[in-house]
Amino acid sequence: MSRLSWTLGLALAFVGAAAATAESPPEPNFGTPVSEAELARYVAIAPNGTGLPSGRGDAARGREVYLAKCVACHGAHLEGVKETGGLPLVGGRGTLASAKPLKTVESYWPYATTLFDYVRRAMPFNAPGSLSDDEVYSVAAYILAKGHVVAEDAELDAASLLRVEMPNRQGFYRDPRPFGAATTAR
Amino acid sequence: MDATPPVEEDCACKQGMFPRKSLSRRSLLFAAGSVAAVAAPTRGRAENAAPPGAAHYDVAVDPTRELGRALGVDGGYGTRSQFETAVRLAAANPNAYTTSSLTPLASQIGNLTPSGLHYERHHAGVPTIDPAKHSLVVHGLVATPKRFTIADIQRMPSVTRRHFIECSGNTASEWGGAKAKTVQLTHGLLSTSEWTGVPFSTFARQVGLNPEGAWALAEGSDGAVMTRSIPIEKMLRDGLIAYGQNGEALRPEQGYPLRLVLPGYEGNTHIKWLSSLQISEAPFMSREETSKYTDLAADGRAWQFVFEMDAKSVITFPSGDMKLPGPGYYEIRGLAWSGRGRISRVEVSIDGGKSWTQAELAGPPESICTVRFKLPWLWDGKPAVLLSRCQDETGYIQPTREKLVAERGLNAYYHYNGIQAWGVAPDGSVANVAA
């Protein structure tokens, strides 16, 4: 109230300035700048290869990794294991328009970079983030070879992973919602 | 590969629609991990076991003739009544770490979901995180990458808003026709809370967004290190970095100490245990936004980045598996919500859609929030089919299942928002029926 009576006789612009000063101090700096070194742990991998680490691996080494760390949940034939919730990784090509679509890395995943990113961050399920980059390249090569996406003897590294052509690369609509707000019940 | 058995979509949302047949009340109590339920049954009477979230006290013969319990025996944090038994129903899933639980909507009173009954969807279990060791790093296409501790964030200008969160797999059981028995199973991947936090736009000013920044990759600190790419316009419009839920800190199952809240977007984008926002030119095409939360169309291609949850409503009373005691007065009650704004109207039919009556909204609808509706009903004891349909402020009207299927086919799995029907038989029993 006293502020109000004090400002009553003053020009409007000055009232505005006084109010702004009293009620809205400039936003202070929050947070602390982080160094490039600290940012090194954020390793999301983009489809253009950004974030892909050095290292390499092939299906033969990938099979060893798979049999040691993946087979319990994903099965000897990469067919998935219902009892563990482990998903099938291969098969399903040609099923996506059927009554029983089978979505797998082979039939559905549009980018090989996604496979590398996901395995590295979230697998094995019981020890996420425990695989070396070479192991991730290897097991990715094994899964893609078993899905007939790459050759049995293909070696994957940052460059060759980017060249992998996933079978369902063109399987996604760019328009996220062709139906959307136009839908009505009447 | 020919021998590959058909494997169902792994989304726990779907598995939630098919709870274990053998799930007894007792096993549910144990499954829910209630200390009271586990500790009590071995001594005293079995009914001394209080439901989860409650503590057992001896019931007074005449509460006006004896002292009640002393203040403080609850240790300073209250429990619900031992007579209240509603619990989240865990999905029937062999893997208890990547699964979901459903909110008991039939017993929810009012508009807000109690924090302990908020639906869950985890991709690698619930991490236990010390807030003193947790922070959010905003980096990528920014002028000054910064780390914000929880203490930093709690100092920043805050907002409090009420919003629902709905899993995109909610009601997926109904694509093929009436299936799940109860409204908890059909619609329980929906919960509403009051969220408190700091708008992302404040963080954006603090780090200085690069004009090329068009997406933000949100990353969680769970074992899945879950990631979703979010359009920067959405982040700037109403993205909320939340630390509060219903007047207290987030529950661990809801992302303690920090989660992203994206009003109206499908639930999985509300990244829990949020630790990183990486600004980028293009989406990262993470597993969740390519192989997982995409909607398969009838032609075998899939819609991607289908974010908004469309307008939807459901009658929660009477609803599946209930039994009305006899003809007479009932208040039909339900919830309506839209990911695009306010609900403007809800209509109810008691004759399977031949005629519709506008229901009363219980209070002014808030944007991107559930609103309760109600309609008095004098049941004459004859068969009835109860439906609700809603319209939001954009003009969108909740569609029938037939319209959805004609538009999207039967393989989309996610984003089902068809009109739900409950049939009332002459004996008062209520069942999920075709609309």
ipTM of the complex: 0.87
CB B411 within 8 A of CB B396: no
Same domain, B227 and B370: no
Nearest-angstrom CA–CA distance, A38 and A44: 14
Beta strands B135-140; B274-280: pairing state: parallel
Q: Å from A101 to nearest chain B CA?
A: 8
CB contact under 8 A, B303 and A97: no
Residues B284 and B415 in one domain: no
What pLDDT is stored for residue B159 in this prediction? Answer: 98
For residue range A101-138, what is the model confidence (pLDDT) as tens digits? 999 999 999 999 999 999 999 999 999 999 999 999 99
Is residue B348 domain-resident?
yes
Is the residue at B28 inside a domain? Answer: no
pLDDT of residue B1: 32
Strand partners, B135: B149
State how far the alpha carbon of A26 is from the alpha carbons of A29, A110, B139, B144, B236, in Å: 9, 47, 23, 19, 20
Of the listed ranges B33-42, B305-314, B370-379, B380-389, the one predicted with least confidence: B33-42
- CATH code of the domain in which B217 resides: 3.90.420.10
Tell me whether residues B307 and A176 touch, CB distance under 8 A. yes
Are the beta carbons of A172 and B3 separated by less than 8 Å? no
CB contact under 8 A, A85 and B93: yes
Residues B173 and B265 in one domain: yes
For residues B346 and B269, membership in a common domain is answered with: no
Chain B residue whose CA is closest to A104 = B291
- C-beta of residue B279 within 8 angstroms of C-beta of residue B232: yes
CA distance B388 to chain A (A): 12
Same domain, B168 and B289: yes
Please tell me the distance from the alpha carbon of residue B295 to that of residue B349, in angstroms, as a whole number.
30
Contact call for A185 and B397, based on CB within 8 A: yes
* In contact, B399 and B353? CB cutoff 8 Å: no
CATH of the domain at B348: 2.60.40.650
Interface probe for B, chosen from A123, A148, A172 (most Cβ of B below 10 Å), is A172
Note whether B296 contacts A101, CB cutoff 8 Å.
yes
Q: Are strands B312-317 and B302-303 parallel, antiparallel or unpaired?
A: unpaired
Please tell me which residue of chain B has the smallest CA distance to A173: B303
Instruction: Give the model confidence (pLDDT) of B101-155 as tens digits.
Output: 999 999 999 999 999 999 999 999 999 999 999 999 999 999 999 999 999 999 9
The answer on B262 and B318 residing in a single domain is: no
The domain in which residue B158 lies consists of: 131-294
Domain count of the fold of chain B: 2
User: Are B164 and B270 part of one and the same domain?
Assistant: yes
In a domain, B230, yes or no: yes
Residue B288 lies in a domain: yes
Same domain, residue pair B199 and B282? yes
* Smallest Cα distance from B300 to chain A, Å: 4
Domains, chain A, in order of start with CATH, read 49-163 (1.10.760.10)
pLDDT of residue B34: 32
- DSSP for B79-120 reads -B-TT----PEEP--S-SSSEEEE--GGG--SSSPPGGGS-E
Considering only CB atoms, B299 lies closest to which of A97, A121, A129, namely A97
Mean pLDDT of chain B: 90
The pLDDT assigned to A175 comes to 67
User: Residue range B17-30: average pLDDT?
Assistant: 35
CA B305 – CA B110 distance, rounded (Å): 32
- Rg (Cα) of chain B, in Å, rounded? 23
CA-nearest residue to B298 within chain A is: A97
Which residue of B2, B7, B154 is the best one to mutate when testing the A interface, meaning the one whose CB has the most A CBs within 10 A? B7
Answer for the pair B173, B14: CB distance below 8 angstroms, yes or no. yes
Separation of alpha carbons B36 and B40, rounded Å: 6
Residues of chain B in contact with residue A173, where contact means CB-CB under 8 angstroms, are 297, 301-304
* Tens-place pLDDT, residues B283-294: 999 999 999 999
Asked whether residue B372 carries a pLDDT value surpassing 50, the answer given is yes
Residue B156: which of A30, A80, A179 has the nearest Cβ? A30
- Judging contacts by C-beta atoms under 8 Å, the chain A residues touching residue B124 are 122, 125, 128
Using the beta-carbon criterion (under 8 Å), do A30 and B296 form an inter-chain contact?
no
Q: What is the pLDDT, as a whole number, of residue B246? A: 98
pLDDT reported for residue A178: 55
Q: Which residue of B has its CA nearest to A33?
A: B146
pLDDT at A183 over 80: no
Residue B240 lies in a domain: yes
A14: pLDDT strictly greater than 60 = no
Residue A21's pLDDT is what?
52
Share of chain B above pLDDT 70, in %: 89
Do residue B230 and residue B343 come from a single domain? Answer: no
Cβ separation of B299 and A121 shorter than 8 Å? no
Lowest mean pLDDT among A21-30, A122-131, B2-11: B2-11
Residue B88 lies in a domain: no
Give B264 to chain A, closest Cα distance, Å.
Answer: 14
For residue A87, is pLDDT > 50? yes
Digit-coded pLDDT (tens) for B42-99 = 344 455 789 999 999 999 999 999 999 999 999 999 999 999 999 999 987 889 999 9
Is residue A32 pLDDT above 70, yes or no? yes
Closest CA to B420 of B353, B367, B363: B353
Side chain identity, residue B208: G
Q: Is residue B229 situated within a structural domain?
A: yes
Residue B419 has pLDDT above 70, yes or no: yes
Co-location of B285 and B316 in the same domain: no
**What tens digit of pLDDT does each residue of B234-264 get?**
999 999 999 999 999 999 999 999 999 999 9
Pair B140, B262 in one domain = yes
Inside any domain, residue B199: yes
Of B282, B302, B410, the CB nearest to A171: B302
Residue B212, pLDDT above cutoff 60: yes
The whole-number pLDDT of residue A24 equals 74
Query: Which of B262, B294, B326 corresponds to the end of one domain?
Result: B294
Mean pLDDT calculated for residue range A13-38: 73
- For A145, the token pair is 């070879």
- Asked whether residue B290 falls in the same domain as residue B348, the answer is no
Structure tokens at A160: 């060759």
Of the pLDDT bands very low, low, confident and very high (cuts 50, 70, 90), residue B435 is confident
What are the chain B neighbours of A72 within 8 Å (beta carbons)? none
Which pTM value belongs to this model?
Answer: 0.88
Smallest CA-to-CA distance from A108 within A46, A170, A160, A44 is with A170
Cβ–Cβ below 8 Å for B224 and A109 = no
- Residue-wise pLDDT tens digits, B263-307: 999 999 999 999 999 999 999 999 999 999 999 999 999 999 999
